[in-house]
Structure 1
Amino acid sequence: MVQKCSGLNRLVHTLSKLRLNDVKLFLIGLGFVFLLNWIVTLSWIPKFKCLSDGSVLQSTKQYSIFSLTDVSYAQNLANKINIYCYILTEPQSHLTKAYHVQTTWARRCTRFGFISSKAEKLMKMLAVDRTQNYVKHSWISMRETLRALHKQTYKAAYFLKADDTTYVIMENLRNALEYTDPRKPFIMGHIYKIRPNEFTLSGSFGYVLSRSALELIVLKGLDKLADCGPIQHVREDIQISKCAKALGIEFKDSIDMFGMSRFSNVTINNLFGTFNNSNNNSGTIQWDPIKTDYTQAVYDLKKLPASPLLISFGGLMPVKMYILEYLIYHLRPVGITHRILQHLPYSSSLSAMNRYHQQDYST
């Protein structure tokens, strides 16, 4: 009986040892599986860090697909080129037009302010002693605006004038200003000829005053020269052109590598490829995307309706501003990366500008 019990005890002890070994082996195997999974996961995450389980895009900046976008050049320009944007509007357009400028492109100005005859709580305003209607008395309103810009404590290097229907691509504007000196008096915008030997700016598409040009107009022009005086019922872009010319301020237009004005007077409708005889959707299209398709073996970018480095659009209602905001900053064709500053260096653009500026705007 004792021998039987002793044998039974040995059997139980042996089975217990087997179970313990099995448990150990199981735990070791499980740990190995977890370790292997961790190593494999770490090796793949850097390659696909914009994706999570189920390929769902994360909302945090670290895992956003746009965190992979190189914005260093644009950020460097934004830190280096200081622009105050002043946007002229009217009380009836505060919420229907101007507010949408504030929520789209104006955010990318170094600072900005809206000029109106009435304050608006939802918008950043620049205090200006202005009571007259801007549309009817735009030059009178502009004179007071220029005084307010010069008086304010914030001293920007450049001042961008825009309307509440203007859309500006600020990165392209800063690129155009990169090699300019704000200590030299100049005015930059779309320049067109109104009659032989007389040029003027187009105010609808925005224009830029250097710090020196603003000081010259306010201190030596507004109260001292007839062309800068309080003239009624004239367009501000025409009159500020006359005032600048009288003061010897240089006129600049930014020209791209194809010889196109970047402050072009193109409207967004020019980009729709609409038909000239649109009654029956037949006729000749305004531009042919097939001829400018750079993914093909043969193409000609000079046939684009506007510069690929365009700075501004004019005459836009808010819905088109939001469309531009999406197309420019969010829509990306997969597999196409633009390195325009590497393949088309600024020197080529600069030489085109130099040739353009040889034209005499002073006579």
Structure 2
Amino acid sequence: MSIFSSEKAIFLLGIMIGSFTSTAFYTNCFWLFGENERMLNKLKTDKQKVATIARKDVEVNLKKLEHAATNIKVQQLSNHQRLFCWVMTHQNNHQTKASTVRATWGRFCDTILFISDGPQDINFPIVHVDAPNGRSGLWHKVRAAFRLIHEKHANKFDWVLKADDDTFVNVNSLKQLLASYNPEHALFFGEPLIGHGSESEYMGGGSGYILSKETLKRFIRLLDDPRSDGQVGCDRNSATSGEDPLIARCLYMLNVTGVDGRDWTGMNRFSQHSGPTRGGGWIQEDFWYKRFQKYTSTMKNYNLGCCSSVYISYHYVQPPMMHQFQYLTFKVNPIDTSSVVRRA
């Protein structure tokens, strides 16, 4: 073999080795590039998984926070929310109006008593008080009822509601209102009215009014004050039907704060009338209710626009209508009316 043949063989071998090396190099590069791409894709996938897990964790934590907030709200509603309801009635209404109150909204009170001039009944929570017959005995009944509750039931309540046997009360709505207040403060809730020969504000008795625990303590101390009514500045002994302005005058003498019972739109939560069932009476200029309104803005609407959507009470509600109010308040689930097309 000549030297040229050997050199040629070496040259060819070099080409082969170079080709193999280049092929291996590029193959390795392509593999590396592919591996990098796979790693990048894996990182993206892992990142998405991490984001998904994190999002789920956030959603779980949000749900936990919402659940905790709900528990706090429930706790707030349960704390300081023991509502003692006492209803003014008389013997002729025991089996009609009083029994209807007990069967409807009275079931939602933590404790309920019916204060009456009739005999006590072991099967019905009626307490007899001695008072003058008729409307002239109302102020006497109110004083006797609050004294009885303070002496016999002081550990059963944070708030005391006084209502009539033809008052319908949305107790849940009332408790939501009271949840923002402390019963250890001297507070007085109801529908603010003026009249009865005075421009002083008072809370209408027919729609019900509420005294905090502290307010009731102060009121009882005032009733027991040995000084004369003139010295005290509060009429504690007269026989009259105007019990609501009288108790308001006594409470304001004690630096009790009257809480505005209107909602955020200026409409009354407490109503001295039967609400939307009043009908066309709203447009009558001599409608008695207009004369006693402290806030005339509450009279700008009538019929379905008469009252708050978060109402608390109506007055002059007869037993059949009381059952209807109970059904509409607690059984009917209204639709979202924001999307309803209304005719002009």
TM-score (norm 2): 0.64
Match of 2:98 in 1: 98
Q: Partner of 2:220 in structure 1?
A: 218
From the superposition, tell whether residues 233 and 257 of structure 1 become closer, same or farther in structure 2 (CA, over 3 Å).
Answer: closer
| 1:150 partnered with 2:150 | yes
Q: Distance in 2 between matches of 1:336 and 1:72?
A: 26
Residues 83 and 132 (structure 1), Cα distance of their counterparts in 2 relative to 1, 3 Å cut: same
Could you tell me which residue of structure 2 aligns to residue 201 of structure 1?
Answer: 203
Residue 333 of structure 2 aligns with which residue?
332
Task: Read off the aligned partner of 1:124 and give its amino acid letter.
Answer: P
Give the equivalent residue in structure 2 for 1:168: 169
Q: Which residue of 1 aligns with 2:120?
A: 119
Counterpart residue identity of residue 207, structure 2:
F
Q: 1:325 to 1:244 in 2, by over 3 A?
A: same
> Are the equivalent residues in 2 in contact too, given 1:166–1:314 (CA < 8 A)?
yes
Question: Is 1:141 aligned to 2:141, yes or no?
Answer: yes
Q: Secondary structure at the match of 2:113?
A: strand
Shift of the 183–272 alpha-carbon distance from structure 1 to 2, 3 Å rule, reads: same
- CA–CA separation in structure 2 for the residues paired with 1:74 and 1:102: 28
- Of 248, 253, 260, the match for 1:246: 253
Cα separation, 2, equivalents of 1:266 and 1:332: 25
Alignment-derived partner of residue 110 in structure 1: 110
Distance 1:74 1:116, change over 3 A: farther
User: Using the alignment, how far apart are the partners of 2:303 and 2:95 within structure 1?
Assistant: 37
Q: Specify the code of the residue in structure 2 equivalent to 1:268.
A: G
Instruction: State the alpha-carbon separation in 1 of the partners of residues 183 and 282 from structure 2.
Output: 43
Q: What residue is the counterpart of 2:320 in the other structure?
A: 319
- Aligned partner of 1:86 in structure 2 is 86
- Distance in 2 separating the partners of 1:250 and 1:151: 23
- Equivalent positions of 1:247-286 (< 5 A) are 247-270=254-277, 272=279
CA-CA distance at 1:222 after TM superposition: 4.8
For the aligned residue pairs, the C-alpha RMSD in angstroms reads 2.8
Q: Distance in 1 between matches of 2:252 and 2:139?
A: 16
Partners of 1:112 and 1:158 in 2: how far apart? Answer: 12
Cα distance between partner residues in 1 of 2:122 and 2:255: 40
- Map of 2:244 onto structure 1: 237
CA distance in 2: counterparts of 1:314 and 1:119, whole angstroms: 25
Higher relative contact order (CA 8 A, sep 6+): 2
Measured in 1, the distance between the counterparts of 2:172 and 2:228 equals: 35
Quote the Cα distance in structure 2 between the aligned partners of 1:89 and 1:123: 13
Native 8 Å contact 1:253 1:262 kept in 2? no
- Contact kept? 1:221, 1:243, Cα under 8 Å: no
- CA gap of 1:129–1:275, structure 2 versus 1, over 3 A, is closer
SS of 2:206's partner is helix
Q: CA deviation at 1:74?
A: 9.0
In structure 1, what is the Cα distance between the partners aligned to 2:283 and 2:188? 35
Q: How far apart are 1:267 and its partner, in Å?
A: 2.0
Contact 2:169 2:313 in 1 (8 A): yes
Distance in 1 (CA, whole Å) between partners of 2:202 and 2:101 is 25
Q: Is the 1:142–1:236 Cα contact (8 Å) retained in structure 2?
A: yes
Residue 85 of structure 2 contacts residue 163 of structure 2 at CA under 8 Å; is this kept in 1?
yes
Structure 2 unaligned blocks of 5 or more: 1-69, 285-300, 339-344
* Deviation sequence 1:313-344 (CA, Å, 0-9, x none): 001110010010111111234x5499xxxxxx
Higher helix share: 2
CA distance in 1, matches of 2:159, 2:282: 40
Distance 1:228 1:122, change over 3 A: same
Note closer, same or farther for the CA distance 1:74–1:337 as it changes in structure 2 (3 Å cut).
farther
How much does 1:95 deviate? 0.4
SS at match of 2:136: coil
Deviation of residue 253 (structure 1)? 2.0
Deviations along 1:87-134, one digit per CA (max 9) or x if unpaired, are 010011100210100000010011111111221344213x45424335
Partner of residue 65, structure 1:
none
Q: Max radius of gyration: which structure?
A: 2
Secondary structure of the 2:146 match is: helix
Q: Flag the 1:288–1:187 CA change in 2: closer, same or farther, 3 A.
A: closer
> TM-score by structure 1 length?
0.61
Letter in 1 for 2:175: R
The alpha-carbon distance between structure 1 residues 309 and 231, as it changes in their structure 2 partners (threshold 3 A), is same
Number of aligned residue pairs: 244
Residue identity in the other structure for 1:200: Y
What is the CA deviation profile of residues 174-195 of structure 1, one whole-angstrom value per residue up to 9, with x for unaligned ones? 1111111111112110111226
